[in-house]
Amino acid sequence: MYDVAIIGAGINGASVAFELTQKGKKVIIFDMNGVASGGSGAAGAFISPKFSKAGELKEIIHDAFIYSMAFYEKNFPHLLTKAPLIHIAQDEKDSEILKYYKEHTDLKLSDEKNSFENETVSMEAGIVNAHGMCSAMCKSAKFVNSKVESLVYDDGMWIIDEIYSASSVVMATGAYKQVIQEPYIKLRGIWGHRIDIKTTTENKNSLHQFVSISPSKDGVLAIGATHNVHYHPESSTEPYDVQEGRAELLQKASRTIDLENVEIIRDYTGLRSGSFDYMPLVGSLVISKETLADTNIKFKTKKPNFEEYSYYPNLYMINGNGGYGFVLAPYLAKILSENILSGKKISDRVSPARFFARWAKKL
């Protein structure tokens, strides 16, 4: 028997596993293809803020960026590479956003000159080793390389595939089919592709424009990631075109930096997830049938009370981080672990219940 079972060993699931095992909890984590085998393994794993004018997503990523940089440096310094980040505007509209950002951010920016013609924002940031980080975070948990097919709550415990049992369950399955399906939970599947290349071009900065380009390390740099919302491994009839993906990555990278004598040495592909309001989902899952049957709840209201809803016992979700998985995951895992262990309230702005409220209002 385990204290917590986690389904999905990408950066979300791995971060939760690390938080809970650090608190002395007995944790088991499942993944159908291995640690960081999906979108997390295909991520560039760049740690950076969101460069925009305003909004809830910018705010939460800002806080997560500060937290996660300190978290990685403290706990996994050998898997974190600090490097100057240069974010380059794509067009005039983007330039105006970056100018506004520089005038209003409280982050420390670099005033070092660079050769880019477009508007830029420069700061100290980082990149983590995606596979290495997820594996290190899962080290103290029991890992099971298996797809979870059944999840049943019985006599105060969750039974996983009729073999394992746990007091609590955390679903971190990304945009793949959910083990427990609820009609209000809908995630955008975003197929990602990253490449590692050998090149004689030296690059000392982390560059972000049309794609992200890592600093050179022993003549190798990473380029990623293209985002394809049309391909989904569970529903697409044709296989993903790796050659086309490579060409797109190199074409976009060449608009930022001249790459010479290029040799592609490895591809990373995987499905990441995003929510339809772009904010992550963290917290307990509403039982839609039970909640809809409660005649005391007014669903057509501007300010729903999430505490009125019925929830699955000790069942949680962490998902929908989009392209900021390695920035958001440690921060959100801390929030979720505090909720699981001590009942600390999670903000309504990231609760999965917000999607139930919108869905129920339309019925």
- Of 159, 133, 147, the C-alpha closest to 30 is 147
Whether residue 24 is found in the same domain as residue 133: yes
Note whether residue 231 is domain-resident. yes
Distance between CA 95 and CA 112 in Å, rounded? 18
Question: Do 204 and 320 fall within a single domain?
Answer: no
Among candidate residues 275, 299, 323, the one where a domain is terminated: 275
Do 14 and 22 contact (CB within 8 A), yes or no? no
Q: Is the pLDDT of residue 228 over 90?
A: no
| pLDDT tens-digit series, residues 261-313 | 999 999 999 999 999 999 999 999 999 999 999 999 999 999 999 999 999 99
Give the pLDDT confidence score for residue 337 in this predicted structure: 98
Q: Would 159 be classed as within a structural domain?
A: yes
Spell out the alpha helix ranges (H) of 130-277. Answer: 130-138, 242-254
Mean pLDDT, rounded, of the chain: 95
From CA 176, how far away is CA 17, in angstroms rounded? Answer: 20
In a domain, 149, yes or no: yes
Question: Looking at the DSSP assignment, which residues form a beta bridge with residue 82?
Answer: 126
Q: Which of 236, 255, 275 is the last residue of a domain?
A: 275
Residues 101-116 have pLDDT tens digits of 999 999 999 988 898 9
Count the neighbouring beta carbons within 10 Å of the beta carbon of residue 22.
Answer: 12
Q: Which of 35-39, 90-94, 151-155, 167-171 has the lowest mean pLDDT?
A: 35-39
Strand partners, 342: none
Rounded average pLDDT over 167-179:
93
Residue 234's pLDDT band, with cuts at 50, 70 and 90, is confident
Residue 44 pLDDT: 87
Of residues 167, 147, 176, 180, the one with CA closest to residue 285: 180
Q: In this predicted structure, what is the pLDDT of residue 335?
A: 98
CA angle in degrees (0–180, nearest 5) for 119-125-129: 125
315 pLDDT more than 90: yes
Q: Are 150 and 281 within one domain? A: yes
pLDDT of residue 358: 96
- Residues 312, 268 share a domain: no
Instruction: Judge if 280 and 361 occupy the same domain.
Output: yes
- Two tokens at 116? 């880019």
d(CA 310, CA 320): 22
Q: Per-residue confidence at 229, pLDDT binned at 50, 70, 90?
A: confident
Q: CA 150, 155, 157 angle in degrees (round to 5)? A: 55
Q: Which helix (H) or strand (E) holds 176?
A: none
pLDDT of residue 235: 86
Residues 171 and 29 in one domain: yes
pLDDT over 90 at 227, yes or no: no
25-50 pLDDT, tens per residue? 999 999 999 999 989 998 889 999 99
Residue 146 lies in a domain: yes
pLDDT in tens, 332-343: 999 999 999 999
Six-digit token pair at 230? 């049309």
Domain that holds residue 289: 1-45+129-177+276-363
Single residue among 256, 275, 294 that ends a domain in this structure: 275
Residue 34, in any domain of the structure: yes
In a domain, 241, yes or no: yes
- Amino acid 112: pLDDT: 87
| Terminal CA-CA length for the chain | 40
- CA–CA distance, 259 with 32 (Å, rounded to integer): 37
- Rg for the chain, CA atoms, rounded: 21
pLDDT above 90 covers a percentage of the chain that reads 88
Tell me the C-alpha to C-alpha distance, in Å, between residue 235 and each of 73, 232, 240, 283, 305.
39, 6, 12, 28, 36
Contact by Cβ (8 Å): 58, 35? no
pLDDT confidence tier of residue 226, bands split at 50, 70 and 90: confident
Rounded to 10°, the helix 11-22/130-138 angle is 30
Express as a percent the part of the chain with pLDDT over 70: 100
Q: Verify that 284 and 269 share a domain, yes or no.
A: no
Report the pLDDT averaged over residues 104-130. Answer: 94
Q: Structurally, how many domains does the chain consist of?
A: 2
Q: What are phi and psi of 110, to 5 degrees?
A: -95, 140
Residues 282 and 359 in one domain: yes
Does residue 135 share a domain with residue 36? yes
Burial tier of 166 (Cβ tally within 10 Å: 0-12, 13-18, 19+):
buried
Phi, psi of 86 (to 5 degrees): -120, 115
274: its two tokens: 């995003």
What CATH number is given to the structural domain containing 244?
Answer: 3.30.9.10
pLDDT interval class at 8 (50, 70, 90): very high
**What token pair was written down for 125?**
């940031």
